Amino acid sequence: MESWRKILVSQEDTIKHTIKVIEENASQIALVVDSELRLLGTVTDGDVRRGVLKGIQLDESISKVMNLDPTISTYMDNKDSILRKMKSKKLHHIPIIDEEGRVIGLEVLDELIRPVQRDNIVVLMAGGLGTRLRPLTENCPKPLLNVGNKPILETIIENFAEYGFNKFYLSVNYKYEMIKEYFGDGSNWGVQIDYIQENKMLGTAGSLSLLPEKPSIPIIVMNGDLLTKVNFKLLLDYHIEHKSQATMCVREYDYQIPYGVVKVDKQHRLLSIEEKPIHRYFVNAGIYVLSPIVLQYLSEDSYHDMPTLFEKVIEDNCCTSVYPIREYWCDIGRIGDYEKANSDYEKVFL
């Protein structure tokens, strides 16, 4: 639900005021939050009616009737897990919170089953040579390699469609005829697919300069060799909520040094020994949300990679953000990754 801010109330608000909030919004629920937007409870029409039957007056605080222990989900939960939770508990709404307990959205059962159609363009980078996957890619572009029972790119498009995204541009180069022949105009998947033809390698961002018209709302850009269960709706909401011009999805990457690491001072004295320490970093996950203004940094038909584009945005002091991915994510860059994706597919995507 994109208009979730309209259903926020304070615990000092009256029951009468909260009834008005519930009745004016289709969601039929109000979320009780503190000044930092931390979730304190929820209120439905049923909660109000039960309170009235107990003799609670409409001019009393909503805290008298609110549910202090509502079922919640976090930004890390994907659509399938939220749906299972709703069905098991017979719920029509679930608030979405961040790691600090702040409300960042509301999932509504009807919208999850029949997603709201979104006008945001999705650009999928599908022009790479797939060199590291040879010989598999000698006669087939990487996005058309089967993982599970269908091509990688088909699974990606279907995942976006589940969240209401239906306007796609496929940026193609290597063996592009095969990709165009397979997907056509997208009508077999109930979506619209157009193509950006790269006559030369333009990097992970350069082909965006070839979009036929400048978008008026944020676009999502994703590498065409990724399989993930990211909630793309929440990703877009996150970008808008943070007033970001460019959002990069990131993954946590752990690197363990296989030796004891020693610390010494300037006099060469041993100060400590840390056995096989683990260093944690955030790494680029190949999924981005870009506001239209960002496209001005791209020269038409010139090579640009996405990290360089972000550097330009940062240099101009534009607002950027990162979106940590906790959901399933697999970059199919090497034979081992391809084998792992095939092994994972049935339990993750079916």
Q: What is the CATH number of the domain that holds 73?
A: 3.10.580.10
For 64, the token pair is: 């008298």
Structural domain for 298, as ranges: 118-349
pLDDT tens per residue, the chain (350 residues)? Answer: 567 888 899 989 998 898 888 877 766 888 999 988 999 999 987 788 788 778 888 888 898 889 899 899 987 787 778 888 888 888 888 999 988 899 988 888 877 777 778 999 999 998 887 778 888 888 888 899 999 889 999 999 999 998 899 999 999 988 889 999 999 999 999 999 999 988 777 888 888 988 988 899 999 999 999 999 888 988 998 898 889 999 999 988 888 888 888 888 888 888 888 888 888 888 899 999 999 999 989 887 788 889 999 999 999 989 999 888 878 899 998 898 888 899 988 888 87
The answer to whether residues 325 and 203 belong to one domain is yes
CA distance 30 to 23: 10
DSSP string, 275-286: ES-EEEEEEEEE
The answer to whether 105 and 74 have CB atoms below 8 angstroms apart is no
Counting the structural domains of the chain, the total is 2
133 and 76 inside one domain: no
| Structure tokens given for 89 | 């508990």
CATH number for 221: 3.90.550.10
Q: Is residue 145 located within the same domain as residue 257?
A: yes
End residue of a domain, out of 113, 137, 170: 113
The single-letter code of the amino acid at 339 is E
126 φ, ψ (degrees, to nearest 5): -125, 30
Which of 55, 79, 113 is the last residue before a domain boundary?
113
Same domain, 69 and 146: no
Is 57 found in the same domain as 20? yes
The verdict on 300 and 220 lying in the same domain is yes
Same domain, 109 and 186: no
Question: Could you tell me if 72 and 30 lie in one domain?
Answer: yes
Same domain, 170 and 28: no
Give pLDDT, residue 88. Answer: 87
**Cis preceding-peptide flag for 258 (omega within 30 of 0):** no
Query: 69 and 163 share a domain?
Result: no
What is the DSSP annotation of 276-337? S-EEEEEEEEEEEEE-GGGGGGPPTT----HHHHHHHHHHTT--EEEEE--S-EEE--SHHH
Distance CA 279, CA 4 (A): 38
CA 301 to chain centre: 28
Q: Say if CB 66 and CB 47 are below 8 A apart.
A: yes
Domain end among 69, 89, 113: 113
Do both 42 and 129 map to the same domain?
Answer: no
Q: 65 with 147, same domain?
A: no
Between CA 190 and CA 176 the distance in angstroms is 21
Ramachandran region, residue 317 (left: φ > 0; alpha: ψ -120 to 50; beta: rest): left
